Amino acid sequence: MTLDDIPGVMEIETRSFPTPWSESSFRYELLENPYASLFVVRRRDPATVIAFACVWVVDQEIKVNNIAVHPDWRCRGVGRRLLQHLIDFGRNQGCREMTLEVRPSNEAGLALYGGAGFARIGRRKQYYTDTHEDAIIMGLPIDPGADE
């Protein structure tokens, strides 16, 4: 992701989440957070952002903070391929585990993560401040030496 991608990312963010991140949050992650790595998927013609992800790599863990696909591009395998890229990125960084939080009401997210091998490993009570919905914590062991 570059600064030029932020307007496209913001469109996806606001269309995907009830409490979207701000533009300044993405700028901070991109420019100032040494643990953050941000990725986009672009269409070639015209060059537009159709998906994005923000992860943190800390020690041997990669944490998915944010992943979303533009509504017009959902159910086409974009999210699955982006998630696999994140897993591969984590493996290349020497990570042994990937974690994330997901709303119990996010059936598409639960299906995506479950299909990639994530398991439910915990719950954060009233994690989401907008609805007070719990978060399901999901984890995926990563073998840093494996080539998948």
More confident site: 135 or 46: 135
The two three-digit tokens of residue 7, written as one number: 């307007």
For the question of whether the overall pTM of this predicted structure is more than 0.85, the answer is yes
The secondary structure of residue 18, as a DSSP letter, is S
**Catalytic member of 23, 101, 107, 148:** 101
For domain 3-141, say whether CATH 3.50.50.60 is its number: no
Q: How far apart are CA 100 and CA 64, in angstroms?
A: 5
Sorting pLDDT into bands at 50, 70 and 90, what band is 148? low
CB contact at 8 A, 18 and 130: yes
147 — pLDDT class (breaks 50, 70, 90): low
Note the pLDDT tens digit of each residue in 55-113.
999 999 999 999 999 999 999 999 999 999 999 999 999 999 999 999 999 999 999 99
Burial 91-130 (b: 16+ CB within 10 A, else e): beeebeebbbbbbeeeeebbebbeebebeeeeeeeebbee
Of 11, 28, 29, 113, catalytic: 113
128 has catalytic annotation: no
φ, ψ dihedrals at 123, nearest 5°: -145, 140
Compute the distance between CA of residue 90 and CA of residue 73 in angstroms, rounded to an integer.
25
Q: What is the mean pLDDT of the chain?
A: 93
Is 113 one of the catalytic residues?
A: yes
